[in-house]
Amino acid sequence: MLILLVNTPTEAQIETVMARVREIGCKPHLIPGEHSIAIGITGNSQALDPGIFTSLDGVSEAIPVTKPFKLASHDFKHAKTEIHVGSVTFGPKHFVVIAGPCAVESEEQTVRIAKAVKAAGANVLRGGAFKPRTSPYAFQGLGLEGLKILKTAREQTGLPVVTEAVDIQSLELVNEYADIIQLGARNMQNFSLLQAAGRLRKPVMLKRGLSATVDEWLMAAEYILNEGNEQVILCERGIRSFDNFTRNTVDIGAVIGLQLQSHLPIIVDPSHGTGRRQMVIPMGKAALAVGANGVMVDVHDRPKEALCDGPQAILPSEFSEMVATLRKMAPATGAHLVGGLG
Amino acid sequence: MLILLVNTPTEAQIETVMARVREIGCKPHLIPGEHSIAIGITGNSQALDPGIFTSLDGVSEAIPVTKPFKLASHDFKHAKTEIHVGSVTFGPKHFVVIAGPCAVESEEQTVRIAKAVKAAGANVLRGGAFKPRTSPYAFQGLGLEGLKILKTAREQTGLPVVTEAVDIQSLELVNEYADIIQLGARNMQNFSLLQAAGRLRKPVMLKRGLSATVDEWLMAAEYILNEGNEQVILCERGIRSFDNFTRNTVDIGAVIGLQLQSHLPIIVDPSHGTGRRQMVIPMGKAALAVGANGVMVDVHDRPKEALCDGPQAILPSEFSEMVATLRKMAPATGAHLVGGLG
Amino acid sequence: MLILLVNTPTEAQIETVMARVREIGCKPHLIPGEHSIAIGITGNSQALDPGIFTSLDGVSEAIPVTKPFKLASHDFKHAKTEIHVGSVTFGPKHFVVIAGPCAVESEEQTVRIAKAVKAAGANVLRGGAFKPRTSPYAFQGLGLEGLKILKTAREQTGLPVVTEAVDIQSLELVNEYADIIQLGARNMQNFSLLQAAGRLRKPVMLKRGLSATVDEWLMAAEYILNEGNEQVILCERGIRSFDNFTRNTVDIGAVIGLQLQSHLPIIVDPSHGTGRRQMVIPMGKAALAVGANGVMVDVHDRPKEALCDGPQAILPSEFSEMVATLRKMAPATGAHLVGGLG
Amino acid sequence: MLILLVNTPTEAQIETVMARVREIGCKPHLIPGEHSIAIGITGNSQALDPGIFTSLDGVSEAIPVTKPFKLASHDFKHAKTEIHVGSVTFGPKHFVVIAGPCAVESEEQTVRIAKAVKAAGANVLRGGAFKPRTSPYAFQGLGLEGLKILKTAREQTGLPVVTEAVDIQSLELVNEYADIIQLGARNMQNFSLLQAAGRLRKPVMLKRGLSATVDEWLMAAEYILNEGNEQVILCERGIRSFDNFTRNTVDIGAVIGLQLQSHLPIIVDPSHGTGRRQMVIPMGKAALAVGANGVMVDVHDRPKEALCDGPQAILPSEFSEMVATLRKMAPATGAHLVGGLG
C217-256 pLDDT tens trace: 999 999 999 999 999 999 999 999 888 778 899 999 999 9
Q: Are the Cβ atoms of D31 and B34 closer than 8 angstroms?
A: no
Q: What is the pLDDT of residues A54-90, one digit of tens each?
A: 778 888 778 776 677 788 888 788 899 999 999 999 9
Residues of A in contact with B133 (CB under 8 A): 191
Residues of chain B by 3-state class (helix, strand, coil), percent to 5: 40, 20, 40
CA of B149 to nearest chain C CA: how many angstroms apart?
34
Sorted by sequence, the CB contacts under 8 Å of residue A320 that are 6+ apart come out as: A119, A120, A121
Q: Are the Cβ atoms of A222 and B136 closer than 8 angstroms?
A: yes
Residue C340: what pLDDT?
41
Give the span between the Cα atoms of C61 and C63, in whole angstroms: 6
pLDDT at D341 over 50: no
Distances in Å between the Cα of C29 and the Cα atoms of A335, C4, C51, C246 are 44, 12, 19, 49
Residue A309: what pLDDT?
67
Name residue B305's amino acid: E
Fold agreement between C2-63 and C83-337: no
CA of D341 to nearest chain B CA: how many angstroms apart?
38
Strand, helix or coil for residue B156: helix
Please return the burial class of A131, using the count of CB atoms within 10 Å of its CB with bins 0-12, 13-18 and 19+. Answer: buried
Q: Are the Cβ atoms of C135 and D187 closer than 8 angstroms?
A: no
Residue D226 forms contact with C (CB below 8 Å)? yes
Backbone dihedral angles phi then psi of residue C319, each to the nearest 5 degrees:
-65, -40
Query: What residues 72-131 of chain C have any CB closer than 8 A to a CB of chain D?
Result: none
Query: What residues 261-320 of chain B have any CB closer than 8 A to a CB of chain C?
Result: 273-274, 276, 278-279, 282-283, 285-286, 288-291
Please return the burial class of A18, using the count of CB atoms within 10 Å of its CB with bins 0-12, 13-18 and 19+. Answer: middle
Residue B159: what pLDDT?
98
HSE-up of residue A284 (Cα within 13 Å, Cβ side) = 33
Q: Are the Cβ atoms of A135 and B219 closer than 8 angstroms?
A: yes
Residue A341: what pLDDT?
41
Residues of A in contact with B136 (CB under 8 A): 191, 195, 219, 222-223, 226
**Which residue, A253, A257, A297, A305, is CA-closest to A279?**
A297
Please return the burial class of A235, using the count of CB atoms within 10 Å of its CB with bins 0-12, 13-18 and 19+. Answer: buried
Give the total residue count for chain C.
342
Please return the burial class of C46, using the count of CB atoms within 10 Å of its CB with bins 0-12, 13-18 and 19+. Answer: exposed
Helix (H) or strand (E) holding A327: helix A316-333
Residue C229: what pLDDT?
96
Distance of CA D330 to the CA centre of its chain: 23
Residue D63 forms contact with C (CB below 8 Å)? no
Name the pTM for this structure: 0.90
Backbone dihedral angles phi then psi of residue A214, each to the nearest 5 degrees:
-60, -35
Residues of A in contact with B49 (CB under 8 A): 138
Residues of D in contact with C68 (CB under 8 A): 134-135
Pairing of strands B59-63, B27-32: unpaired
Query: How large is the ipTM?
Result: 0.88
CB B306 within 8 A of CB B342: no
CA of A308 to nearest chain B CA: how many angstroms apart?
8
Q: Are the Cβ atoms of B33 and D45 closer than 8 angstroms?
A: no
Q: Are the Cβ atoms of B241 and C252 closer than 8 angstroms?
A: no
Residue C209 forms contact with B (CB below 8 Å)? no
Residue B34: what pLDDT?
61
Residue A54 forms contact with D (CB below 8 Å)? no
Give the span between the Cα atoms of D160 and D98, in whole angstroms: 10
Distance of CA B30 to the CA centre of its chain: 40
Residue pairs between chains C and D whose CB atoms are closer than 8 Å: 110
CA of B242 to nearest chain C CA: how many angstroms apart?
7
Q: Are the Cβ atoms of A289 and D282 closer than 8 angstroms?
A: yes
Q: What is the pLDDT of residues B151-197, one digit of tens each?
A: 999 999 999 999 999 999 999 999 999 999 999 999 999 999 999 99
The residue of chain C with its CA nearest to that of D196 is C167
What residues of chain B score a pLDDT lower than 50?
Answer: 340-342
**Which residue, B118, B116, B142, is CA-closest to B307?**
B142
Q: Give percent above pLDDT 70 in chain D.
A: 95
Confidence at A223, pLDDT banded by 50, 70, 90 = very high
Give the span between the Cα atoms of A294 and A283, in whole angstroms: 12
Give the residue with greater pLDDT, C325 vs B70.
C325
Residues of C in contact with D192 (CB under 8 A): 166-167, 169
Give the span between the Cα atoms of D93 and A219, in whole angstroms: 43
Please return the burial class of C49, using the count of CB atoms within 10 Å of its CB with bins 0-12, 13-18 and 19+. Answer: buried
CB C58 within 8 A of CB C17: yes
Residue D328 forms contact with A (CB below 8 Å)? yes
Q: Are the Cβ atoms of D211 and B242 closer than 8 angstroms?
A: yes
Distances in Å between the Cα of B219 and the Cα atoms of A138, B191, B209, C172, D148 are 11, 10, 12, 52, 61
Give the CATH architecture of domain B83-337: Alpha-Beta Barrel (3.20)
Chains touching A, CB cut-off 8 Å, 3+ pairs: B, C, D
Write out chain D in H/E/C secondary structure. CEEEECCCCCHHHHHHHHHHHHHCCCEEEEEECCCCEEEEEECCCCCCCCHHHHCCCCEEEEECCCCCCCCCECCCCCCCCCEEECCEEECCCEEEEEEECCECCCHHHHHHHHHHHHHHCCCEEECECCCCCCCCCCCCCCCHHHHHHHHHHHHHHCCCEEEEECCHHHHHHHHHHCCEEEECHHHCCCHHHHHHHHCCCCCEEEECCCCCCHHHHHHHHHHHHHCCCCCEEEEECCECCCCCCCCCECEHHHHHHHHHHECCCEEECHHHHHCCHHHHHHHHHHHHHCCCCEEEEEECCCHHHCCCCHHHCECHHHHHHHHHHHHHHHHHHCCEECCCCC
**What's the whole-number mean pLDDT along residues C192-196?**
96
Residue C63 forms contact with B (CB below 8 Å)? no
Running DSSP on this structure, what letter comes out for residue A3? E
Distances in Å between the Cα of C75 and the Cα atoms of A36, C66, C182, C261, D62 are 11, 11, 26, 8, 48
Residue pairs between chains B and C whose CB atoms are closer than 8 Å: 121
Give the residue with greater pLDDT, B71 vs D155.
D155
CB D257 within 8 A of CB A247: no
**For helices B252-261 and B277-289, angle between their N-to-C axes, nearest 10 degrees:** 30
Q: What is the pLDDT of residues D185-234, one digit of tens each?
A: 999 999 999 999 999 999 999 999 999 999 999 999 999 999 999 999 99
Sorted by sequence, the CB contacts under 8 Å of residue D114 that are 6+ apart come out as: D100, D125, D127, D153, D154, D156, D157, D159
Residue C34: what pLDDT?
61
Running DSSP on this structure, what letter comes out for residue A335? -
Distance of CA A47 to the CA centre of its chain: 22
Residues of D in contact with A213 (CB under 8 A): 242-243, 245
Q: Are the Cβ atoms of C241 and B245 closer than 8 angstroms?
A: no
Q: What is the pLDDT of residues A161-207, one digit of tens each?
A: 999 999 999 999 999 999 999 999 999 999 999 999 999 999 999 99
Q: What is the pLDDT of residues A253-295, one digit of tens each?
A: 999 999 998 999 999 999 999 988 889 999 999 999 999 999 9
Q: Are the Cβ atoms of C310 and D54 closer than 8 angstroms?
A: yes
**What's the whole-number mean pLDDT along residues D51-66?**
77
Distances in Å between the Cα of B22 and the Cα atoms of A110, B4, B68, B137, C87 are 27, 17, 21, 56, 67
Q: Are the Cβ atoms of C32 and A40 closer than 8 angstroms?
A: no
b/e per residue C297-312 (b: at least 16 CB within 10 A): bbbbbebbebbbbbbb
Q: Are the Cβ atoms of D333 and A329 closer than 8 angstroms?
A: yes
Domain range annotation of chain C:
2-63, 83-337
Residue A325 forms contact with D (CB below 8 Å)? yes
Q: Are the Cβ atoms of C45 and A34 closer than 8 angstroms?
A: yes
Helix (H) or strand (E) holding A88: strand A88-90
Pairing of strands D266-268, D232-236: parallel
CB D193 within 8 A of CB D99: no
Q: What is the pLDDT of residues C41-64, one digit of tens each?
A: 877 766 677 777 877 888 877 877
The residue of chain C with its CA nearest to that of A29 is C31
Residue A321: what pLDDT?
94
Residue C4 forms contact with A (CB below 8 Å)? yes
Q: What is the pLDDT of residues D278-309, one digit of tens each?
A: 899 999 999 999 999 999 999 999 877 777 76
Residue D15 forms contact with C (CB below 8 Å)? no
Sorted by sequence, the CB contacts under 8 Å of residue A35 that are 6+ apart come out as: A7, A8, C75
Give the CATH architecture of domain D2-63: 2-Layer Sandwich (3.30)
Give the span between the Cα atoms of A121 and A337, in whole angstroms: 10
Residue D46: what pLDDT?
65
Residues of A in contact with C34 (CB under 8 A): 42-45
pLDDT at C341 over 50: no
User: Degrees (nearest 5) of the Cα angle D313, D292, D210?
Assistant: 60
Q: Out of B213, B249, B290, whose CB is closest to C251?
A: B249
CB A184 within 8 A of CB A166: yes
pLDDT at D339 over 60: no
